Structure formats: C-alpha cells, structure tokens
Chain A
Amino acid sequence: MGAAVATRQIQFREALREAMTEEMRRDKRVFLMGEEVAQYQGAYKVSQGMLDEFGEKRVIDVPISENGFAGLGIGAAMMGLRPIIEFMSWSFSLVAADQILNNAPKMLYMSGGQFGCPIVFRGNDGAGGQLGSTHSWAVEGLFANVPGLRIVIPSTPYDAKGLLKTAIRCNDPVFFLESERMLGNKGPVPEEEYLIPFGQADIKRAGGDCTLVSFGRPVHFCLEAAEKLAEEGIECEVIDGRTIRPLDMDTIIESIRKTNYCVVVDQSWPFGSVASEVATQIYERAMDHLDNRVYRVCSDDVPAPYSKTLEQAMLPNPGKIIKAVKQAMYLE
C-alpha cells in the first residue's frame, strides 16, 4: 500500500479532491461548504467539478462570514452530519475563533459525551508568498494548545489523500492544514483506496546521524537540507509528523535513540510553538539519549513581512536547517 508501488502522479489539490469525492460517494452525510467551493470551482480549484457531481445541496457556496458558516457546520455536526468546511485560508479562521475553538473541540466534553462534533475544517496554512502579516498565519502553534482537536498537516499528495479520508471519518473535529505553495506539487498516489491513521509519523528519509522532525511544507526544506548534508557525509533521518494532535512521539524518540541529535523544524513562531512542545516531550522522555540540546528552526518571532527578502529571511529554509544540524552535532 506504500507510495513506492504507486505509479500514478497527481497534484496535491487533486489528492484532496479525490479524498473528498470518495468520502462523499461513500457517505451521504458528508458535505462540502465554503467560500467559492461550488460555482467558482474552488478559490484554489481544490473542489473543481464537485458541484457537477454532487449538486448544490452537498457542495455549498456561502458568503464571506467565517464565524457564521463555521458555526453552522458545527451545529450540523452535532446532529450527526459530517461537514467539510473549507477556509480559503486558515488566516481567515481567526474571525471564527469562538466557533472553532470554543464550540467544536469542547462540545463533547461540555455535554458529558452526548454531542460529538465530527467536522473537518480545511484550508491553506502558512506563508503563501508575500501575502503580508494578516494572510500568512501558520495556525498550528496557536491551535495545538487546545484539547479536543485533531491537527493534521500533510506534506505530500499521498499523505494528504489518506489523512483527509481519515479526517472525514473521524468523530472528532479535525483541523486539516494545507499549503497554497504545495497545491500544485505532484506525487505518487495509488488508484486503490487507502487511509492513513492519525498519530503515525512517516520517516521520509532514513539516516543515522541526526534526527530532523517537521510538519507540513517545511518537511521539504528538511529533505533538501538532508540531501546537501549527505554530500558532506552527514546522514539525517527526516521524520514527517503528519499529525500534531495526536503527536507520534514514539517514532521521534526511537530515531533519537539511534542518532542522539535532534533538530525540530516548524513554520510557526518559536514562543510556545509546536517545536517547543516536541522538544519538551523529547526532554521528558529521552533526555538520556541526547548528546546535545534539541535545536529548533522556526519562523522568526516577527509578524510576517511583505518584502520578499524579509519574508525569506523570516521563514525556515534549508540553509537554516543545515546550520542547525551542524550546531547540534558540534560541527560548527
């Protein structure tokens, strides 16, 4: 079932579309709602063609009112429907904070288990490309603090499809973080059906010298860095966490037992970040296996700038990762 046996190459956006389409064929309770998802065929063409197949009762355009339609989705989920709510960008989810943070993740708990909230919120996360501060949110650092949520952040079309199918079948609210910068990326995706369970990290590159842990788009920066480091004889193991909640610490710790060095790469801000959490859990569980402190490569602690030069300086990139690996391994 692995990606290796697949020959077909499709785009990230097509993988997402296939996941939604297959699940909507499988379960009539699943519907897609969002801005421009139907008649416009998707602001980023993720839902292209879905209106034609499923009709306007299941692929539903809503006006720009995230708090309203996010809450609408949660109400529908409380009754047992399985909404997929598309945010054009996770940056826009902030106006829906009360609904997505107060209602979705707490409903099951507050109701003593009576009302679940099987809903998927999905959309673009992280820097798009010179979009400035308000449109460049990487929300994982912010939202990972909230119990009751699943946070999924795939880096490849294969993972995106398998994880989105799991998300749609999940009985808890799932925040599914995509990246505008990856939607056109192609990768192998098999024709036959598969699902990827939450909480299972994927080793994207094996290596014995230093563990690189990342999530979403920066996984590719790690792979680039690992490629260059290999030319210098340093073999990095690149772990793609794939889900932040749940977080597969077992795979990370197993790798550290082997490498004894670790760099965590995370596109959120460093203060109270996903990287901080991973590092803390490493200290709690594997202190004795470390030969140095855990290094973090995050976005710089500033609002996302517009200038291309400044934006590139702010975001994680292969150069920063290479430097961190060398520092972690006492090579610099």
Chain B
Amino acid sequence: MTMTDPQAVSQPVERVSAKTRLKWLRDMMLIREFELRTMQAYQEAKIGGFCHVYIGQEACAVGCIAATNPDDPVITAYRDHGHALARGMESRYAMAEMFGKIGGCAKGKGGSMHLFDKRTHFYGGHAIVGGQTPLGAGLAFATRYENEVLGEGKKRVTLCFLGDGALNQGALHEAMNLCTILELPCIYVVENNRYSMGTSIERGTSMADDLSTKAAAYGMPYFQADGMDVCAVYNVMKRVVDRMRSEQRPAFVEINTYRYKGHSMSDPQKYRTKDEVSEYEASDPIRRLADALIAAGALNEDGFKELNQSVRDEVRDAIKWAEQSPEPDPAADLYSDVVTEPFGEYGPTSLPEMCDHEPGDVPESP
C-alpha cells in the first residue's frame, strides 16, 4: 500500500497573499545573507568548529515552518541556522552563538550545530545524525500527553527535520515505529539534498528512488514537495500539518532540495560536478519567488533591492552585535548549566537539597 496522498500533489497551489509571500521572500533572503556572512566570518576564523550552511535549502525551512502554529515544537539536525531563523530566533543571537559569545542563544556553549530557542519553541539543532528523531517523537508524545492527560485542550504537531543521511540511522527507524505504535503527531521532514556529506543517496540508501517505501514500512502517510519552490513546500506542508493536527498521528514528508555549498566549510566537493550545482542554482528558490512576485506586480526591482538592503543591514547588525558581545567568563560560565542544582565539579563542598524548581527558565540575552 503506498501512502502517497493524491490530493496533496494534484491540487493547485493554495492562494497565498502577496504580503505573506513577500515575508517568505525576506525570510529566505535573510537566511541566504546570514549564511554568506557566516561563511565569511568562518574564513576569518571568527567562527570555529564544524559549520554547515543552508544555502539552497531556504525554501524548506521557510515553507514548512510557515505551515505551523507558533507553539508547535520544531527540532532539527546540525544544519540548523535556517530553521532557527525561520522559526523566529533573532539573527544576532544565532550569530553570537557561532562566535562563541555570551550573547549567543546558548551563551556560546552550543555553537553552530546546537542552536536552541525556547521562546520560539525551537528544540534545537542536534549534531549526531538521526539523534534528533527520537527526541521529535518525545516532543510529539509530550504535546499529546499535555492535551489528553494534563487537559490542555490543544492539539499540536511536531516538525522533526532530518537530512537524507539520517535515513540510514537506526534511531530514525525506532522513532518512526514508536510514532506509529503510540500514535504520535510527529511529522518527519526529510530534506533530501541528495548527499550525506560525500555519499550520494543512491550509494547509501536502499530504495533511494522511492522514499515512500520508508513511510509505508511504518504505516505513515507519505508526501513529497519541490524544495526549490517555497509555495509548493507550504502548500503540501499546510495540508500535512492540518491533517496531522486533527488526526494526531505521524507523517513522512520528502522535500527535494539541494545544498549549493559543501557539506561543511571544509568540503572540497569532489563527489559532484559544477554543472550539477549550476543546474540547481538556476532554479534558485529566492530568484524563483522574486520573479513570481514581480510578474504578479507585487514587487519591483526597487522593492527587491530594498529587501536586499534590509537583510544586509540586519545581518551586519548581527555580526556587529556578535563581535561586541563579551566572551563567556570561565569563572562564571564554565560550570553553569551543567545541572540545575550544582553540586560542584569534583566532590561537593555543599550538599544539594531537594530539587523543586522549574527547569530551564529562558535566560535573558544581554
């Protein structure tokens, strides 16, 4: 039984207001500009460690997240800058995090691969491939539990993003099985950019030409979207999100996309041709939406330039803010947040009392 939903693919793109599409355009342009400046800062050694940029995939995060409610949990893997920004994290907190500064969303303790933002229900970037997929099941479990056991009277869905590389990790398969068995409203969104680092999906994944089989194995409905078209992504995701919110069960979505840059900042990209990259760049999601808006008379070249200027200003401000944010203070910050009730690093000097305060209050960023 193939679980492909014929409705989702055959119906025309839902009509979305020009104002909303202009917002999506700016969201995607912001991510693009943010990532370009991220690469620059990395090359200037202002950002360290592993760093994976989202250029080319912007329509995935923006289109998917646009289909959710603000309090639907969102969780993703290590290529997480785009999702954090699309979810509403201020770019300065994301940039300062990568600069390893105290003004970062995680006080400089997480870095590029571990962005978190409780305010926007963004449950993090997770850097072990596939490791976020059981967590996504848990977020969905919690929303269902809150609704049914704690009586919150609100149905939520969880978006759990993963790359095609995670398709081969056991964690995903355990998580999908659990989601179906326990009827958890978790939507697994596979951003299929065709490469897990240097391994093409054909070399690494069985049934790579038909990922609906993965969904069918766990009895989940399968949906597919063109990830180079933000309207198409939204159109599919809106239906999936609404349906799963109502039915409170899991789904599996494949979004066909492409990353223009290497897997990480240190990737010579010998596994693909420049022509292949150019081919995808020709159907760039930002240019595509801008052209459509211009054709519809909702945007002109001056308006596009203005948008461009506004995201450049915002990211420039983020860089400046990240540069000016203080370094964490080892004396104060190294040992904070290890546990909620610190008992010392190496044998307690004062014994902890009962723990009875709420976990994880959102810290005020400077």
A70-B134, A75-B142, A80-B142 known; A110 vs B124 contact (CB < 8 Å) = yes
Report the count of interface residues on A (CB-CB < 8 A).
Answer: 61
A74 CB contacts on chain B under 8 angstroms: 134-135, 138
Beta-carbon contacts under 8 Å, A95-149 to B: 98-99, 102-103, 107-118, 147-148
Interface of B is mostly: loop
Q: Could you tell me which residues of chain B, from 118 to 134, have a CB within 8 Å of some CB in chain A?
A: 118, 123-124, 126, 128, 131, 133-134
Is A199 within 8 A of B109, CB to CB? no
A127 nearest CB across to chain B (Å): 28
- Contact check, A170 vs B355: say whether CB atoms are below 8 A apart: yes
Is B294 an interface residue when CB atoms closer than 8 A count as contact? no
Contact across chains for B351 and A111 when beta carbons are under 8 A apart: no
Q: How far is the CB of B267 from chain A (nearest CB, A)?
A: 24
Q: Which residues of B contact A147 (CB under 8 A)?
A: 338, 345
A43 on interface, CB distance cutoff 8 Å: no
Bound form: Cα–Cα A77–B137 in Å: 12
Interface string of B47-90 (1 = CB under 8 A from A): 00000000000000000000000000101000000000000000
Residue B1 at the chain A interface, CB threshold 8 Å: no
A312 at the interface (CB under 8 A from B): no
Alpha-carbon distance between A258 and B336 when the two chains are bound, in angstroms = 36
CA distance A291 to B336 in the complex (A): 38
In the bound complex, CA of A60 to CA of B150 (Å): 16
Least distance between B340 CB and chain A CB atoms (Å) = 4
A74 to B355, CA, bound (A): 18
Contacts known (A170-B355, A197-B354); A78 close to B134, Cβ less than 8 A = no
Bound complex: CA A274 to CA B178 (Å): 35
Flag if B359 contacts A112 (CB, 8 Å): no
Task: Check if B362 is an interface residue, CB within 8 A of chain A.
Answer: yes
Interchain CB contact under 8 A, A71 and B131: yes
Interface pairs A-B: 6 shortest CB-CB: A75-B138, A71-B134, A116-B359, A68-B174, A112-B106, A79-B142
**30 A-B pairs in the complex with CB atoms less than 8 angstroms apart:** A62-B178, A68-B134, A68-B175, A69-B174, A71-B131, A71-B175, A72-B137, A72-B138, A75-B135, A75-B136, A75-B139, A76-B138, A78-B135, A80-B358, A81-B146, A108-B338, A111-B106, A111-B114, A112-B109, A112-B110, A113-B336, A113-B337, A114-B116, A115-B359, A117-B359, A118-B359, A172-B355, A246-B343, A247-B348, A285-B347
